[in-house]
């Protein structure tokens, strides 16, 4: 029997225009999950995907949750069973004035680096998830069937913390469990090399509010005798790192292992310049833990970062006020065996121990998830390496993940399966920012890669 993959790829090549039309239709739906005003749009996006998957031969349905609905679909046959995960919700578009056009009026633009499709969600994650669906369409149209058994799970709350996801996975574990999960919510290494992620960092989010006097005070009348919450909070946050960039929380590095030497050698062989990486954002000096490389800090070391600060008068002009309260948002990226619950407890205990008598502190939990490390034993990893290598003409790069994709950890702990993560986004895609885009070449090559991966898995 002849190999069907070349014919499937030819069909993808011939159908590029129609594929872009389908992506454009999905991008027009303003499915902003964090804004209640767009609840109906999230429903519409879920309905659109159910119709699309049904057209591809899947048994697809929209499943209710306490928040936005899940889309679940089953299709194909055979011994090999994979689950594909994506999300149809998108980030808010603010500040709208910085967009060059309506973020939900997608258009293909010509740029110096080739054509791009410009719209909110073009890269994160509608364009990425549609690469997989287009690969399935090409297999169905060319051969009449899918190359293996596929379950699809698409959620609508990824950009708002996925509050419904864990209960849904637990309630539907038997239906959703497969051999391995396929996730296309990542990017290329250095914007030009195909990548498979072998690990992802976890995340703990905390909001801290320090309150002192019962109202804002005149700094001339009360400054000095009265405790200033802003001074208390900034002193505490300033002590979160030592002079060498290490995090000072007790027990913070428990469960953090050193990277094996052979892995470090592989990272050193990558074409990565810390100077160029920082230069792209107007910086020059490598910060963080002394003695660690940039890739080591991004892929294998935990961090503590202050994400937001607010206190007192911040409007135009000047106001001599001693603020009643001060707030900060702090996040911790976790690696290895770090326990998110212990990190949160350590941080709160550490803050409480430094609180003066005239101040009170409250904390708000903004989610937590452990790091994930993949065993990479499932054939999907070898299939992806082979497929990416052939399509790109270079070996796929095995890297750690600097960010956090909690679903990969949930798949491990709830469904007992690893995730094979490969994606085709670029750092220039401006995800979560104005003027988000997805290269047309990324969209097309991504579909070709998934077609190859599915064909290899299906034998």
pLDDT 10s digits, 137-149: 999 999 999 999 9
pLDDT 10s digits, 110-138: 999 999 999 999 999 999 999 999 999 99
pLDDT of 434 above 90: yes
As a three-state string, the secondary structure of 148-175 is CEEEEEEECCHHHCCCCHHHHHHHCHHH
CA distances to 355, 406, 416, 431 from 332, in Å: 21, 14, 25, 21
Q: Do the domain assignments include residue 280?
A: no
Sign of CA dihedral 349, 355, 361, 364: negative
Q: Do the domain assignments include residue 229?
A: yes
Q: Are 436 and 122 spatial neighbours (Cβ–Cβ below 8 Å)? A: yes
Same domain membership, residue 453 and residue 392: yes
Q: Name the CA dihedral angle for 289, 292, 294, 296, rounded to a multiple of 10 degrees.
A: -110
pTM score, two decimals? 0.84
The pLDDT confidence band at residue 280, using thresholds 50, 70 and 90, is: confident
Q: Of 422, 417, 407, nearest to 87 (Cα)?
A: 407
pLDDT of 1 above 70: no
The pLDDT confidence band at residue 68, using thresholds 50, 70 and 90, is: very high
220 φψ region: left (φ > 0), alpha (ψ -120 to 50), beta (else): alpha
Domain closes at, from 369, 385, 408: 369
Residue in the block written with tokens 């034993």: 377
Q: Do the domain assignments include residue 274?
A: no
Same domain membership, residue 143 and residue 9: yes
pLDDT for the residue numbered 19: 98
What mean pLDDT do residues 94-116 have? 96
Q: Do the domain assignments include residue 275?
A: no
Pairwise CA distance, residues 138 & 232, whole Å: 60
Q: Which CATH number belongs to the domain containing residue 112 in this structure?
A: 3.40.630.10
Q: What share of the chain is helix, strand, coil (3-state, %, to 5)?
A: 35, 25, 40
Same domain membership, residue 308 and residue 207: yes
Domain closes at, from 340, 369, 398: 369
By DSSP bridging, strand 372-373 and strand 195-200 are: antiparallel
What mean pLDDT do residues 328-353 have? 96
Same domain membership, residue 419 and residue 377: yes
Same domain membership, residue 209 and residue 326: yes
pLDDT for the residue numbered 133: 98
Domain of residue 410, residue span = 5-200+372-457
The pLDDT confidence band at residue 191, using thresholds 50, 70 and 90, is: confident
**Which residues touch 307 (CB under 8 Å, ≥6 apart)?**
329, 330, 331
CA distances to 38, 52, 103, 117, 436 from 42, in Å: 6, 15, 16, 21, 19
Same domain membership, residue 105 and residue 213: no
Burial class for 30, CB neighbours closer than 10 Å (0-12, 13-18, 19+): buried
Same domain membership, residue 382 and residue 257: no
Q: Strand 325-334: give its sheet, edge to edge.
A: 303-311, 325-334, 202-211, 360-369
Q: Are 418 and 374 spatial neighbours (Cβ–Cβ below 8 Å)? A: yes
By DSSP bridging, strand 397-401 and strand 195-200 are: parallel
What is the secondary structure of 67-106 as a DSSP string?
SSPEEEEEE--SS-EEEEEEE--B----SGGG-SS-TTS-
CA distances to 140, 145, 310 from 54, in Å: 12, 13, 49
Pairwise CA distance, residues 283 & 313, whole Å: 29
Q: Of 23, 22, 372, nearest to 203 (Cα)?
A: 372
Mean pLDDT of the chain: 95
Same domain membership, residue 12 and residue 137: yes
What mean pLDDT do residues 367-383 have? 88
Pairwise CA distance, residues 168 & 443, whole Å: 30
Q: Are 199 and 317 spatial neighbours (Cβ–Cβ below 8 Å)? A: no
Express as a percent the part of the chain with pLDDT over 90.
Answer: 86
Same domain membership, residue 449 and residue 316: no
Same domain membership, residue 44 and residue 176: yes
Q: Are 198 and 380 spatial neighbours (Cβ–Cβ below 8 Å)? A: no
Same domain membership, residue 244 and residue 344: yes
Q: Which CATH number belongs to the domain containing residue 342 in this structure?
A: 3.30.70.360
What mean pLDDT do residues 275-290 have? 94
Pairwise CA distance, residues 378 & 346, whole Å: 37
Q: Do the domain assignments include residue 285?
A: no
Residue in the block written with tokens 């454009």: 24
Pairwise CA distance, residues 419 & 183, whole Å: 7
How many domains in the chain?
Answer: 2
Domain closes at, from 321, 346, 369: 369
Same domain membership, residue 169 and residue 68: yes
Strand partners, 322: 217
């Amino acid at each position: 029997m002849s190999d069907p993959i070349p014919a499937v790829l030819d069909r993808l090549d011939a159908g590029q225009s129609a594929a872009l039309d389908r992506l454009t239709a999905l991008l027009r739906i303003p499915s902003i999950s964090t804004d209640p005003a767009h609840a109906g749009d999230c429903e519409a996006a879920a309905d659109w995907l159910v119709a699309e998957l049904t057209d591809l031969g899947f048994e697809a349905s929209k499943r209710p949750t306490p928040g936005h609905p899940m889309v679940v679909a089953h299709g194909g046959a055979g011994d090999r069973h994979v689950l594909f995960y994506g999300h149809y919700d998108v980030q808010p578009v603010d500040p709208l004035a910085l967009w060059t056009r309506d973020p939900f009026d997608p258009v293909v633009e010509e740029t110096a680096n080739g054509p791009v499709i410009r719209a909110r969600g073009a890269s994160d994650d509608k364009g990425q998830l549609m690469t997989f669906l287009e690969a399935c369409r090409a297999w169905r149209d060319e051969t009449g069937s899918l190359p293996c058994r596929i379950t699809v799970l698409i959620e609508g709350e990824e950009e708002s913390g996925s509050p419904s996801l864990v209960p849904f996975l637990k309630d539907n574990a038997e239906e959703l469990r497969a051999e391995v999960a396929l996730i296309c919510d990542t990017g290329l290494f250095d914007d030009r090399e195909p990548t498979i992620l072998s690990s992802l960092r976890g995340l703990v989010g905390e909001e801290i509010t320090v309150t002192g006097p019962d109202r804002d005070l005149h700094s001339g009348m009360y400054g000095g005798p009265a405790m200033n919450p802003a001074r208390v909070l900034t002193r505490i946050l300033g002590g979160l790192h030592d002079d060498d960039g290490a995090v000072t929380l007790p027990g913070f590095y428990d469960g953090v292992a050193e990277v094996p030497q052979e892995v470090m050698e592989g990272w050193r062989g990558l074409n990565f310049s810390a100077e160029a990486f920082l230069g792209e954002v107007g910086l020059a000096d490598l910060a963080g833990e002394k003695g660690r490389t940039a890739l080591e800090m991004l892929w294998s070391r935990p961090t503590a970062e202050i994400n937001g600060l607010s206190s007192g008068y911040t409007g135009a002009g000047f106001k001599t006020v001693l603020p009643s309260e001060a707030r900060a948002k702090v996040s911790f990226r976790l690696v290895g065996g770090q326990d998110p619950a212990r990190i949160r407890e350590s941080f709160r205990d550490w803050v409480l121990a430094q609180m003066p008598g005239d101040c009170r502190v409250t904390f708000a939990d903004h989610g937590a998830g452990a790091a994930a490390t993949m065993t990479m034993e499932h054939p999907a990893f070898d299939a992806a390496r082979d497929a990416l290598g052939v399509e790109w003409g270079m070996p796929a790069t095995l890297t750690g993940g600097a960010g956090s994709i909690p679903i990969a950890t949930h798949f491990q702990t709830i469904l007992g399966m690893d995730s094979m993560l490969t994606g085709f986004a670029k750092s220039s895609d401006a995800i979560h920012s104005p003027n988000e885009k997805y290269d047309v070449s990324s969209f097309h090559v991504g579909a070709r890669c998934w077609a190859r991966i599915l064909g290899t898995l299906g034998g």
